[in-house]
Structure 1
Amino acid sequence: MSKADLSRQNKIDWMSSPASVLSEVQLLQLMTPIPGFTNFRELRILQGRPAPAFVTAWKAWNKSKIKGEKSVFPDPSRKANYDENQLWAVVEMQDAGCDLENIVLRDVWSVWDVFWGVALAIGKGEKGVRFEHRDLHLGNICIRSCRPPLEDAENTDPTSVLTAPRIHNTHRKLGFTGLETTIIDYTLSRADTADSPSPTAQDVAFLDLEADPAIFGADATYEYQYEIYRQMRSAIYYGRPLAFTSPDPYTLPAHLLEKTTWRDFHPLTNLIWLHFLLHKLLENVVWPSSDPELETTLARVDGKLKRAERRARKIERALVALRDMLDPEVLGDQVDEMGVASVGELVAVALVEGWLGEEDVVGIAGEGPWK
């Protein structure tokens, strides 16, 4: 194969197939009515070389990325990279704010609101259309504040409303910070796309990850996210995240591939990704029990400080319990009454334990993730 042919093949390998674009658009339409998922507006199919505005935006984005995170797609400004027959699927969605990869949350109030904002959305997706995201890394979760910026002359950081929000409603169990979460990017996701009298006749939008298993062989030395794909695959075929320990991550025994598929509904994958989310959120959190500057954090509280301090310590204990429940070592092992197999069951535990109230789950009026 010539160098030009090899370059062309590599470019094709990174492109989305029409079938995968159709699947994602179906999911975008399906998930839009569910709170916490991105608001899909429009799809347009274009043909030809990219317009100058697109080229400028691509270059600005690529320049902002470090080595290893730059675009895998060829430079759109070079005519040799794309021809007049190139097809583009342009998807328009509502602005959902800033992705979590670019925001560091340090207080338990923010971590709590963001975690449950995502979890409640996923739980509703599970119940409504048997949804699995299957790629819920920090870049696919956006946050924004539903409150106006603080009128603070000394504070010129536009992200402060996200990283250091005012704390309200400490008498409640959720919705302290005004941070709203939005889940995006359904490239790897799975959901039932239509009502059906039987599971065997069910229409399903999904991507068969076994068709290109390279994702399961990625190096997780510096990024735990790549371990999650292997845990997800192990959960689907073995029922537990850490059961598959083969030195060859690319190949599964044939009898397992015949037993189940990525088309089927495996809600345990959602819990594995919530484990990842919580793991990443807790990497930078400052626990109230060991915070030498707790008074500084409490200065952002609107309300009674003693009550806020008690609530912060309760949140800390609940986050630790959640971390233990979502540990891959125990997920899939239903050995006690606290074992969970889906996000819906996790929400049920939160209600029983008093971590959340019914109004947090079914929706509340006013400020918060369920406006």
Structure 2
Amino acid sequence: MTSGSSALVDHATSTPPRKPSTRTVAQRKVYGKKKKNAPRAVLDPKSPSCTPDRPQEPSDPVEAIQTKLAQVSLVDETARTPALVPEVPETPTKELGDQSKYITIELDDELTTDSSLPQQPARTPTKQPCPDASPTRRNGRQKTVEVRIYNKKSNNTKSTRAEKDEAPSASTQTPRKKTAKARRSSGFVRDPEANSYVQPILNEALSPLASQSIQRFSTWASRSASMFDVAKLAEGSYGEVYKLHLREESSRPAVSKSKLAKLKAYGNGVFKVVPLCAKKGPGSKKFTSIAEIASEVKMLKYLDPIPGFARFREIHVVQGRFPESFQRAWEHYKETKDDCENPNPASKKAYPETQLWAIVEMDDAGCELEKFSWSSIFQIYDIFWGVAMALARAEEYALFEHRDLHLGNVCIQSTRPDGTTNPPTDMEIARQSSPSGFGLGALETTIIDYSLSRADLRLGDLPDDPDGVIENASSDLDKKQIFDAVGEDEDEILLRNTYRYMRATLYTGNPSDTEKPRNVQGIWAEYAPRTNLVWLLFILKNLMKNRKPEPTQSTPVPVPQPQRKALAPCSPNRAMERQPTKGKTNKANDQSLAGALVKERQSKDLQTRVMQLKQTLEDRMKTVLALLDLENGHEDMCCAADLVAYAMDSQWLAEQDFF
């Protein structure tokens, strides 16, 4: 019996297979075409979409410096013995009196060279003792900056009188009240207990903003409000999926071309909004747990480079009610779709004011397979083998099992430049060169949603451990209510049975033994890759059974008939006109007729070749159904990698399709 991971390696390199007992995730080669980097961090506070919301710089120089240095920690140097005497601006002592204050701040070189800081006029420096001076510069990376703050009132009566003379009259000048400026909210939730509760999710965030704290839902959404509109795409038991659409030029702020290109790329993404379990109280027994989301995000990040898997962008944790833009999108979906079953986010009975949400950013993978209408065998071929090869890559990369691969967790996208998903025409088939038949359907697949999946994640390499630290990411499916449900129609029955086939495969190794076993603690953390084949069989049965009638192809090229010359008015000089020779006219008609016959013959030959190729692909898919049969299938077929290796040996797939 050949292990799934080594099957493809053997096919590619002809090396002896490894023993299962020594198999780890040390083999981390990613097979397939390299992906482009996913757009990230576009909606951070410095992004163009939220520029209008940024606070203006204070006009007062001291306030400007304090604003720039607000995030820099102040260092108390009073307890240290001064070793250096800093240079400070020369100012007459009699003018200072007790009206000045000193602040000594240690800055990194990068901060002190910030060009956005207000530049002060140069003064002649002089050495002067300062009790708050910083004694040393650490490693040449820190500088001491002294900010001297003066009161606006001056003791110099002459300058005061001069200012009064130059000042406007009292009738036009109104005294300003000194009112404390409202502090702009950072958007973070300053709740240590709540932040500690969701820390496992925050640890998986990529940007400093997302990893710092829980954010207010309204503040997070406001970063994109000026540039994007929100639309709800789908929903499930996990939560809901939303998408941002870039607004029309007339209804968005003006940005540069480069920033606009980044925003357009960022708009090609989706947001999976998942309600989280509360730490305690009524909401602690429902929704998704912190551990489950953290495990899913780890898998998203780990499987991100594998072709055929979702592209991860970022994870956020937010708190509060749905913002207005998301609420409007939810209500529009409720009015226009018939599958809206989740409770209204505005309902206080369903969600409290302190509801926590995890927002997972990913690239848009296209339409869900369950909402896609397929009709051509070329489309079926691309969909099935696209999913099978993605699973085979993930098995080799991370000992991966999906365990929930229904039609809603496979997304379809067109590979055509215009994005159309119509079945390929005969001419499109003729123009493409595929030795295996894969790729002729012009569709690519993406596997999504790893909430029930299992994988081994190598977190890093240690000097004494060449294989690195391996963490198992999995979920105890025995605690889920997915095995006892009974379907209402034929498709639903097949889905519910597939869950039981998968459980039997893990517990007994025999998928047809669907009797409920006695729960074994920790068994769902074990690796049983044959479950991937159980789900591939489910997908193929649905593809073959539920395909729509294929649209008729274009009619053959009609054979043009010889055209008769139109009648012309009788000319008095017709006897003198030169009449064309009959031989030349017949020759032109013969050439036109011959060309039409050639085109008709070529069209018939093309149709014949396409029909033969369709029948070949159809026979291959029927053979795969027999190979994956739960009772009488191939005994050595143990994982998706085995199936892909078998297909490559049978020339159903070419090496360039996989590697």
- Same fold flag (TM > 0.5): yes
* Counterpart mapping for 1:273-284 below 5 A: 273-284=535-546
Q: Which residue of 1 aligns with 2:191?
A: none
Asked if structure 1 preserves the Cα contact closer than 8 Å seen for 2:434 and 2:440, the reply is no
Distance in 2 (CA, whole Å) between partners of 1:346 and 1:240 is 18
Q: Which residue of 2 aligns with 1:162?
A: 421
Distance in 2 (CA, whole Å) between partners of 1:13 and 1:70 is 23
Pair 361,87 (structure 1): closer, same or farther in 2 beyond 3 Å: same
Pair 120,171 (structure 1): closer, same or farther in 2 beyond 3 Å: closer
- 1:56 aligns with one of 311, 314, 328: 328
Residue type at the aligned position of 2:404 = D
Q: Which residue of 2 aligns with 1:176?
A: 440
Shift of 1:298: 10
Pair 71,269 (structure 1): closer, same or farther in 2 beyond 3 Å: same
Residue type at the aligned position of 1:124 = R
Within the alignment, does 1:242 sit opposite 2:521 as a pair? no
Q: Which runs of 5+ in 1 are unaligned?
A: 1-7, 150-157, 363-371
**Counterpart of 2:482 in 1: which secondary structure?**
helix
Shift of 1:187: 0.7
Distance in 2 (CA, whole Å) between partners of 1:104 and 1:234 is 32
* Counterpart mapping for 1:133-212 below 5 A: 133-149=402-418, 161-166=420-425, 167-168=428-429, 169=432, 171-173=434-436, 174-194=438-458, 202-212=470-480
Distance in 1 (CA, whole Å) between partners of 2:548 and 2:649 is 27
Shift of 1:58: 2.5
Residue type at the aligned position of 1:360 = D
Shift of 1:263: 0.4
Rg bigger for which structure? Answer: 2
- 2:296 aligns with one of 5, 9, 24: 24
Residue type at the aligned position of 2:511 = P
Distance in 1 (CA, whole Å) between partners of 2:309 and 2:498 is 22
* Counterpart mapping for 1:61-100 below 5 A: 61-66=333-338, 69-72=339-342, 74-100=343-369
- 1:314 aligns with one of 598, 616, 619: 616
Shift of 1:12: 4.7
Q: More displaced, 83-92 or 183-192? A: 83-92
Distance in 2 (CA, whole Å) between partners of 1:324 and 1:297 is 36
Asked if structure 1 preserves the Cα contact closer than 8 Å seen for 2:398 and 2:457, the reply is yes
Q: Which residue of 1 aligns with 2:69?
A: none
Q: Which residue of 2 aligns with 1:330?
A: 632
- 2:371 aligns with one of 102, 120, 135: 102
| CA offset digits 1:312-340 (Å, max 9, x no partner) | 11101101001111222235x72xxxx30
- 1:219 aligns with one of 468, 486, 494: 486
Asked if structure 2 preserves the Cα contact closer than 8 Å seen for 1:170 and 1:311, the reply is no
**Counterpart of 1:216 in 2: which secondary structure?**
coil
Shift of 1:296: 5.4
Distance in 2 (CA, whole Å) between partners of 1:145 and 1:28 is 23
Within the alignment, does 1:122 sit opposite 2:419 as a pair? no
Q: Which residue of 2 aligns with 1:3?
A: none
**Counterpart of 1:78 in 2: which secondary structure?**
coil
**Counterpart of 2:310 in 1: which secondary structure?**
coil
**Counterpart of 2:421 in 1: which secondary structure?**
helix
**Counterpart of 1:262 in 2: which secondary structure?**
helix
Asked if structure 1 preserves the Cα contact closer than 8 Å seen for 2:374 and 2:548, the reply is no
Instruction: Please give the TM-score of this superposition, normalised by the length of structure 2.
Output: 0.45
Distance in 1 (CA, whole Å) between partners of 2:655 and 2:325 is 47
Count residues in correspondence: 322
| CA offset digits 1:232-289 (Å, max 9, x no partner) | 00100010111133xxx4xx225xx16x7110111011001000110111113479xx
Shift of 1:297: 10
Pair 108,52 (structure 1): closer, same or farther in 2 beyond 3 Å: same
Residue type at the aligned position of 2:474 = F
More strand by percentage: 2
Pair 315,25 (structure 1): closer, same or farther in 2 beyond 3 Å: same
Within the alignment, does 1:229 sit opposite 2:499 as a pair? yes
**Counterpart of 1:177 in 2: which secondary structure?**
coil
Residue type at the aligned position of 1:110 = Q
**Counterpart of 1:45 in 2: which secondary structure?**
strand
Distance in 2 (CA, whole Å) between partners of 1:46 and 1:234 is 39
Q: Which residue of 1 aligns with 2:138?
A: none
Distance in 2 (CA, whole Å) between partners of 1:86 and 1:244 is 39
Residue type at the aligned position of 1:343 = A
Q: Which residue of 2 aligns with 1:340?
A: 637
Query: Pairwise CA RMSD of aligned residues?
Result: 2.9
Pair 345,65 (structure 1): closer, same or farther in 2 beyond 3 Å: same
Pair 298,191 (structure 1): closer, same or farther in 2 beyond 3 Å: farther
Pair 20,145 (structure 1): closer, same or farther in 2 beyond 3 Å: same
More helix by percentage: 1
Pair 117,349 (structure 1): closer, same or farther in 2 beyond 3 Å: same
In percent, how many aligned pairs have the same letter? 36
Distance in 1 (CA, whole Å) between partners of 2:320 and 2:554 is 56
Q: Which residue of 2 aligns with 1:253?
A: 518
Shift of 1:354: 1.4
Q: Which residue of 1 aligns with 2:30?
A: none
**Counterpart of 1:194 in 2: which secondary structure?**
strand
